[in-house]
């Protein structure tokens, strides 16, 4: 028998992910998300969910930051102003509607997306198949409501994005999955891997093996570094001290070996350390530029609008940003930055406690989020906003002490 509740929950989580990284959805104008907002809203009302105080404080705080930006710049970018609140409300409604199974559904969505991506990625080694995808199927998925952007829009067939080049690989292609590029796919896979470790209380389960294989197929430098980081973190908190003592040094040596011997990892990291790249801002150059921007408005930030964020600069290379961590700091200021990651850490810690998993892992998980965020501008995406709201789902229950007799 078809379980309608599960189907609705899967669709809700899928749309949360889709509006965060699947080009057909996340590159659409904000009006499209507003229309889709009706779906989680109706489910929220039908299931009689209660509104938490956290979301009221959350929206009020964001409004204050935006008001501060308006007072500082005497400019109200109505689209970006409303857009942020739409994403916040969308994230909250999905979380509350799906409730505590949210992590389960997210992991399943990423596992299935990975398996589906292989159905396109592996045959793409035959150039005629990729040509067929690009010229025969992709035109059916052209979006009539795309917003203007400085970034290239790659052909896609909704379940798979045709963006296989990069990293200087001669014979190997890269797997973007349904996301805008392989590096972005790797970031969502890392989040799924971290959550599934807590969920299953074990690293080497079937779901995680699929996620890891999918991550390797992206050939993302940051993704692979984050993968080793996650594995090392897992064994650092492992209860078996002997395994901890033996495996952690071996893994560290393995990472160093890869850095030295594998060109697309070691050479790319060295290249990205450059502050003088003439093609576009590197991760570190982007961080440097963001910190300079941050210094001009440290408390309320510069906002998302190009007029305030980049002082109306039009040069694409100069306004290119790919460091999500420092970009968040520059856009919304120090207080928002601290609260954002504090809420995220609390959500991971609360979920770990609920799953009876070592809550110290939440600190390592936050480190993993920072690692992937150093290469992609994730933190204004609706899914990552949802991660800051996990405390509304997994708040530890306070057990009443038994009265003394």
Please tell me the predicted confidence (pLDDT) of residue 136: 93
Task: For residue 156, give the 3-state DSSP assignment.
Answer: strand
Tokens, residue 85: 């609140």
Structure tokens at 275: 């502050």
Instruction: Give Cβ neighbours of residue 328 (< 8 Å, ≥ 6 apart).
Output: 336, 337, 340, 373, 379, 380
DSSP 375: T
Q: In whole angstroms, give the CA distance from residue 162 to residue 165.
A: 9
For residue 136, count other CB atoms closer than 10 A to its CB. 10
Q: How many CA atoms lie within 13 A of 385 on its CB side?
A: 23
DSSP state at residue 146: B
Is residue 98 within 8 Å of residue 12, measured between CB atoms? yes
CA 398 to chain centre: 31
pLDDT of the residue at 310: 87
Angle at 113 between CA 107 and CA 114, to 5 degrees: 90
Q: Which residue has the tokens 């509607």?
A: 97
The pLDDT tens digits along the chain (405 residues) read 678 999 999 999 999 999 999 999 998 989 999 999 999 999 999 999 999 999 999 999 999 999 999 999 999 889 899 999 999 999 999 999 999 999 999 999 999 999 999 999 999 999 899 999 999 999 998 877 777 776 778 899 999 999 998 766 768 899 999 999 999 999 999 999 999 999 999 999 999 999 999 999 999 989 999 999 999 999 998 767 777 777 788 888 877 777 766 665 656 665 655 555 444 567 888 898 999 999 999 999 999 988 899 877 777 777 888 899 999 999 999 999 999 999 999 999 999 999 999 999 999 999 999 999 999 999 999 999 999 999 999 987 654 443 333
100, exposed or middle or buried, with CB in 10 Å at 0-12, 13-18, 19+?
exposed
* Token pair for 135: 């010229």
**Which structure tokens are listed for 197?**
């470790």
Q: Which residues pair with 28 in a beta bridge?
A: 146
Burial 357-391 (b: 16+ CB within 10 A, else e): bbbebbebbbebbebbbbbbbbbbbbbbbbbbbbb
In this prediction, residue 313 carries a pLDDT of: 74
Q: What backbone phi and psi angles, to 5 degrees, belong to 241?
A: -65, -35
Going from N- to C-terminal start, the domains of the chain cover 4-393
d(CA 265, CA 374): 15
Tokens 């999500």 identify what position? 324
Residue 309 C-alpha from the chain's centroid: 22
pLDDT of 400 reads 44
Cα Rg, the chain, nearest whole Å: 21
Question: Which residues, in sequence order, are bridge partners of residue 146?
Answer: 28
d(CA 64, CA 315): 31
* Structure tokens given for 183: 């590096």
Q: What's the pTM value of the predicted model, to 2 decimals? A: 0.94
- Going by C-alpha positions, the residue among 109, 167, 186 that lies closest to residue 372 is 186
């Amino acid at each position: 028998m078809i379980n309608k509740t599960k189907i609705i929950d899967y669709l809700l989580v899928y749309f949360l992910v889709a509006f965060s990284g699947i080009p057909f959805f996340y590159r659409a104008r904000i009006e499209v998300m507003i229309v889709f907002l009706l779906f989680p809203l109706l489910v929220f009302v039908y299931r009689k969910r209660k509104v938490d105080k956290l979301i009221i404080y959350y929206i009020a705080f964001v409004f204050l930051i935006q008001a501060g930006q308006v007072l500082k710049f005497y400019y109200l970018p109505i689209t970006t102003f409303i857009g942020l609140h739409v994403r916040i409300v969308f994230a909250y409604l999905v979380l509350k509607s799906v409730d505590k199974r949210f992590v389960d559904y997210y992991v399943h969505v990423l596992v299935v997306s990975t398996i589906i991506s292989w159905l396109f990625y592996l045959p793409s080694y035959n150039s005629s198949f990729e040509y067929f995808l690009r010229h025969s199927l992709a035109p059916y998925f052209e979006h009539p409501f795309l917003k203007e952007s400085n970034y290239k829009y790659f052909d896609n067939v909704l379940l798979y994005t045709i963006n296989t080049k990069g990293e200087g690989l001669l014979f190997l292609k890269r797997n973007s999955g349904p996301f805008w590029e392989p590096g972005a796919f790797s970031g969502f896979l890392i989040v799924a891997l971290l959550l599934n470790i807590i969920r299953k209380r074990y690293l080497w389960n079937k779901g995680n093996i699929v996620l890891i294989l999918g991550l390797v197929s992206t050939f993302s430098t940051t993704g692979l570094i984050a993968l080793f980081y996650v594995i090392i973190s897992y064994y650092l908190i492992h209860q078996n001290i002997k395994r901890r003592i033996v495996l952690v040094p071996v893994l560290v040596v393995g990472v160093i070996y890869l850095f030295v011997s594998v060109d697309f990892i070691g050479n790319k990291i060295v290249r990205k350390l450059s502050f003088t790249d003439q093609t576009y801002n590197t991760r570190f150059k982007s961080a440097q530029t963001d910190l300079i921007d941050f210094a001009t408005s440290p408390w309320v930030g510069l906002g998302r609008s190009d007029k305030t964020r980049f002082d109306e600069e039009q040069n694409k290379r100069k306004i290119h940003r790919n460091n999500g961590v420092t970009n968040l700091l520059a856009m919304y200021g120090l207080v928002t930055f601290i609260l954002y990651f504090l809420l995220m850490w609390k959500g991971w810690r609360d979920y770990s406690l609920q799953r009876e998993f070592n809550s110290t892992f939440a600190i390592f998980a936050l480190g993993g989020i920072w690692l992937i965020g150093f290469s992609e501008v994730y933190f204004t995406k609706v899914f990552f906003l949802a991660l800051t709201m996990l405390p509304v789902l997994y708040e530890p229950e306070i057990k009443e002490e038994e009265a003394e007799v």
